[in-house]
Copies of this chain bind each other. A is one copy, B any other.
């Protein structure tokens, strides 16, 4: 019996999958899982796909921080990837170039799919992040959501946040698990990461088979925008998130509900009506977004039919 992923006279060339952990150096659970998996292949079911596990940012992992020079997961931008060695490049730009040279679709070990494993301090549970509307990504997310019911955060149309790793591969998404503080190992986070990763791999394997079992629809939470804390003239937060917002990821905001609390005896004035009324918050109090001045992002829940085009695109990709 042939091992999947081994190409034999062009008959069979199931694409390899790149699995990245530690794209942010202080998100430690997925790297721990990949390290243990390297030592014990039984730890994680890869559905007989050829999987290349890699640590995204080893230097930041070593330093126990998110990044050294700049966020690696905002460094896969065409303008940055085009920088050559004539001028000093941020460490993470060099690393992005290395990862593409090694594992990109035309790399030394070509991979067609990238699964990027993250954790968050927000109470997001186990979820998927999809960037834009590539049919292959939506097909993969549909299969995983059909299996596990995970919510999907569709990130798009945000000019302040670009250059995500998975966008440099033909197909890819992020598995995001929380809440967990940066820097600590947590069994629940590890287990949820493993479950989502195994399901992604099983879904990819199934997508190239005769009859993958797709759900009829995909529920996405589409990114609308982000909300910052109110700030004073020194750019410091004058108020913090209200109790009702803290930990409320995936729960719709009520119109006019208090969003902030100044901690004084006077209640913080209600936010004015905005385009976010009725929106659904995600990444509430994510520690890494403090520097980006994002207290939470706001999404809109939408139900999309799973299209035949998505299914066909992922089938074609996975048949090699």
**For A40, A187, A188, A261, which residue has the most chain B Cβ atoms within 10 angstroms?**
A187
A265 at the interface (CB under 8 A from B): yes
- Chain B residues with Cβ below 8 Å from A91 are none
> Do A185 and B121 touch across chains, with their CB atoms under 8 A apart?
no
> Do A32 and B290 touch across chains, with their CB atoms under 8 A apart?
no
Q: Which residue on chain B has the smallest CB distance to residue A232?
A: B39
**For A36, A190, A241, A262, which residue has the most chain B Cβ atoms within 10 angstroms?**
A36
> Do B188 and A246 touch across chains, with their CB atoms under 8 A apart?
yes
A264 at the interface (CB under 8 A from B): yes
Tell me the bound Cα distance from A134 to B78 in angstroms: 62
> Do B182 and A182 touch across chains, with their CB atoms under 8 A apart?
yes
Tell me the bound Cα distance from A185 to B40 in angstroms: 39
Q: Take A64-B291, A65-B65, A291-B64 as given contacts and tell me if A185 and B261 are in contact as well, using a CB distance cutoff of 8 Å.
A: no
Tallying the copies of this chain within the complex gives 2
Q: Take A190-B263, A263-B191, A264-B42 as given contacts and tell me if A287 and B36 are in contact as well, using a CB distance cutoff of 8 Å.
A: no
Q: Take A32-B237, A181-B121, A236-B35 as given contacts and tell me if A243 and B187 are in contact as well, using a CB distance cutoff of 8 Å.
A: yes
Q: Which residue on chain B has the smallest CB distance to residue A189?
A: B240
CB distance from A274 to the nearest CB of B (A): 21
- Chain B residues with Cβ below 8 Å from A236 are 35
> Do A240 and B190 touch across chains, with their CB atoms under 8 A apart?
yes
A54 at the interface (CB under 8 A from B): no
CB within 8 A of A185: which of B35, B240, B265, B288?
B240
CB distance from A136 to the nearest CB of B (A): 30
Give the secondary structure class of A's interface.
Answer: loop
- Chain B residues with Cβ below 8 Å from A181 are 121, 179-182, 285, 287
A242 at the interface (CB under 8 A from B): yes
Q: Take A181-B182, A287-B181 as given contacts and tell me if A187 and B261 are in contact as well, using a CB distance cutoff of 8 Å.
A: yes
Tell me the bound Cα distance from A288 to B261 in angstroms: 28
Tell me the bound Cα distance from A184 to B265 in angstroms: 22
Give the B-binding residues of A (Cβ under 8 A). Answer: 32-33, 35-36, 40, 42-43, 64-65, 121, 179-188, 190-191, 194, 229, 236-238, 240-243, 246, 261-265, 285-288, 290-291
What are 19 A-B pairs at a CB distance below 8 A? A36-B262, A36-B263, A36-B264, A181-B182, A181-B285, A182-B182, A183-B287, A183-B288, A184-B287, A185-B229, A185-B237, A185-B241, A186-B240, A186-B241, A187-B240, A187-B242, A187-B261, A188-B243, A194-B263
Of all A-B residue pairs in the complex, the 5 with the closest CB atoms, nearest first, are A181-B181, A121-B181, A183-B287, A185-B240, A184-B285
